[in-house]
A and B are shown apart, each in its own frame.
Chain A
Amino acid sequence: MNILASKKDIITNLQKNILQWQGINIPQACTVRFAGLELLEAAFPNAVFPTGAIHEFLTEQQEHAAACAGFLGGLLKVLMQQGSICLWVSTSRSVFPPALKNFGVAPDRIVFIDLPRERDILWVMEEALKCSSLAAVVAEIGDLSFTESRRLQLVVEKSKVTGFLLRKNTKKLSTTACVARWKITPLPTELEEGMPGLGFPRWNVELLKVRNGNPGSWTIEWCAGKFVPVIRESTGLSIAEEYTRQTG
């Protein structure tokens, strides 16, 4: 028994060490918690959303980019809680600042950097990530090579700033050093039976890749200023099909 227990200890210790060597800091108990995302957090190592890392979001279409900005808004709300600010870097910005207020982010605490050339984005992103007074840096970019993502990851490991990359070009996807690859797509909203109009924003949050975690997909709603997971009984039908059945 003793030998077995010690073996288990050795393996867990080894696993922890491997995580550290890979640049993944083992989060402490006091790290940031996102209300409503508990199910999602479980997919990450140690069941903690990795802040101080680079996250990658795939936004092919403009509709996806909007959904993604909504989800990001919810994350930024928590990250910017202590009054710190966020940088939003892009070449063709379409984010409408007043709408961010609905996601709990003060739009005047976001500094937008509108660059004329695509190639300056990574330089600005790297410089910004070095600045530890920022809560987060969001950048909308086209392509990202492994070397570039590795540079960003190395900077973040020192400064503990969270970086979000919104990738417009999803045709050529290669391996990156980012801690997670997300895809947020909008889902039809749902209201109570017979009510007209639109409901709360609802998204299908997909984690395509997680370093040392388990990918998965969840349905999340933004309701009354926080994330609410939507758990539905499986009907065996896709949402679109279900919808046609409901509406006839």
Chain B
Amino acid sequence: MQKRYAAIWFRHLTTDWLTLHRPELKQLPFVLAATEHNRKVITAATSLAESQGIQVGMAVADAKAMIPDLLVFDEKPAREKRLLKALAEWCIRYTPFVALDLPDGLILDISGCTHLWGGEKTYLKDIVTRLRGSGYDVRAAIADTVGTAWAVSRFGQVSPVIESGAQASALLPLPAAALRLDSNILTRLQKLGLYQIGSFIGMPRSALRRRFGEDLLLRLAQALGQTEEYIQPIVVPEPWQERLPCMEPIRTAAGIEIAIKQLLETLCLRLQQEGKGIRTAILKCYRVDGKIQQVEIGTNKASHHVQHLFKLFELKISSIAPGLGIELFTLEALKVEGVSILQEALWGGNPGLDDEKVAELLDRITAKVGTGTIHRYLPDEHYWPERSIKPAASLQEPAITTWRSDRPRPLRLLATPAPVDVTAPIPDYPPLMFRYKGEVHHIRKADGPERIEREWWLEGGEHRDYYNVEDRNGQRYWLFRSGHYDTSEKKQWYLHGFFA
């Protein structure tokens, strides 16, 4: 089958994109510039600016002299590539093979695709009108070879669709630059007065090779179709999504369960083959009356374990209202991560926090109770008791510093210290007795004080003098006095915790 190619040329790719994002620039001439050898050089200009004499490659200072209120924006590296990639992904609707043609074009392998649009002319028209409609200034052409399509899209004057086998006649009136040649070769051709392809296409090959090198012959052969030219199509990542249409609307929980199981099995098989696992997934149920019910699950660790994921969904089934029935289920994995493949161990080890089962258990708890219930703590480098621990970001996060055990700390700590009434006769001595919740505790033994200063760079206030005390019944407490002992002013004592 004869290959057919389409070339699309974006004449002002980056500037068109900027205009699309900032509509207020539509009526203004502006350019993009990049620094090159200590001066700013224009890399792209709008058609409005070009019509006033601005050219790509000009210094910004010169351009400003021509148009004083010219807007200049910084060129970001690799912006064209990003834009072209997005456009190429959009073009997948026309053909499965789309290749980038940096810096400003796309090449489509359209063999066997055009009849779906009713012919090449309408096919091309569709592409061009749609792209122009979205704001890009494009030209496109169709030919047997990539080279001819490229040449006609840039320089063609007559018809954008070149009949099969008519490359040579189409190329004849075009300038030499249409052959995608190096600028050195182009200037040499220019010097010799060979302005059009037609003026040197008939020359002996040996003469052309001797004067202009192999490159010219290669490009010529590629354009004429004598040598095969390959394009590298982009690969569009397939979304992690599965659909399950139902013959009869589903209304029962049992039916929903079966649907979820089927969806999970197919999706997890795909994930497993690629070594991926679900972090978040969403199940959408399309009802007969047009409403959509959806439930979302999340996991602490990427998983493609059907049983586990099903359990997470099972907890949420009760929140799906089937109404008159559900006719379509879709399951999409919104966030997918690589799964670390565990080595099968012959002996049962104890992986602790890395354990798959623990992660699955915590997922179930999160799914049932809600987020923000699971806490794990790591030591933090603060003396202030409330700040001496920090919540761990993940289950696997290791402790950077070691846990301190040189100072006594109570096993039960009150969230806010409770004020207590004390009898403390001597300065810097523990109290003789204190009253907490109406009960009097006579202190028999005491240790301390341990002074803990406030971290002044975080907050202001009094320091604390902590005492560990034991009352007559052997119950042990952590008391502190806020601030220095002072005869003129009574200082408040607090109970902060209970020792074991």
Report which A residues bind B (CB closer than 8 A). Answer: 62-63, 65-67, 69-71, 73, 82-85, 94-103, 106-116, 120, 123-124, 127-128, 130-134, 185-189, 196-198, 201-203, 222, 239-240, 243, 247
Contacts and interface: CB of A to CB of B under 8 A. Distances in A.
Interface string B95-129: 00000000000000000000000000000000000
A115 B373 contact: yes
Interface in B352-366: 352-353, 355, 357-358, 360-362, 364-365
Range of interface residues on B (Cβ < 8 Å): 35 or more
B500 A85 contact: no
Given A84-B352, A197-B445, A201-B476, 13 more contacts: A69-B412, A95-B412, A98-B388, A107-B377, A108-B376, A111-B376, A112-B375, A114-B373, A133-B355, A134-B361, A189-B470, A198-B470, A222-B500
9 contacts: A67-B500, A97-B377, A101-B403, A107-B403, A109-B353, A111-B376, A115-B369, A128-B361, A188-B444
A66 B362 CA distance: 27
A100 B350 CA distance: 21
A113 B403 contact: no
B498 interface: yes
Nearest to A128: B361
A102 B415 CA distance: 21
A65 B498 CA distance: 9
Given A99-B410, A201-B500, A247-B444, A113 B374 contact: yes
A97 B389 contact: yes
Contacts, number: 177
B442 to A, nearest CB: 10
B468 A83 contact: no
Nearest to B469: A198
A103 B365 CA distance: 28
Nearest to A104: B405
B498 A198 contact: no
A98 B129 CA distance: 68
Contact of B410 (A66, A133, A187, A243): A66
A134 B358 contact: yes
A73 B476 CA distance: 17
A44 B376 CA distance: 34
Contact of B350 (A63, A82, A95, A198): A82
A116 B373 CA distance: 8
B409 interface: yes
B403 A66 contact: no
B350 A84 contact: yes
Contact of B412 (A65, A115, A196): A65
A239 B362 CA distance: 45
A66 B350 contact: no
Contacts of B374: 111-113
A240 B472 CA distance: 7
Nearest to A204: B474
B368, B379, B398, B500 — most chain A CB neighbours (10 Å)? B500
Nearest to B360: A131
B365 A113 contact: yes
A247 B447 CA distance: 17
B376 A110 contact: yes
B168 to A, nearest CB: 74
A96 B497 contact: yes
Residue of A67, A103, A198 with most chain B CB atoms under a 10 A cut-off: A198
B369 A124 contact: yes
B446 A71 contact: no
B413 interface: yes
A98 B478 CA distance: 15
Interface string B366-397: 00111001111111000001001100100100
B305 to A, nearest CB: 14
Given A67-B500, A85-B353, A188-B474, A243 B444 contact: yes
A198 B403 CA distance: 22
Contacts of B476: 63, 66, 186, 189, 198, 201
Contact of A101 (B361, B369, B370, B404): B404
Contacts of B403: 98, 101, 106-108
B423 interface: no
B75 to A, nearest CB: 49
Given A120-B369, A198-B446, A96 B413 contact: yes
A223 to B, nearest CB: 12
A198 B445 contact: yes
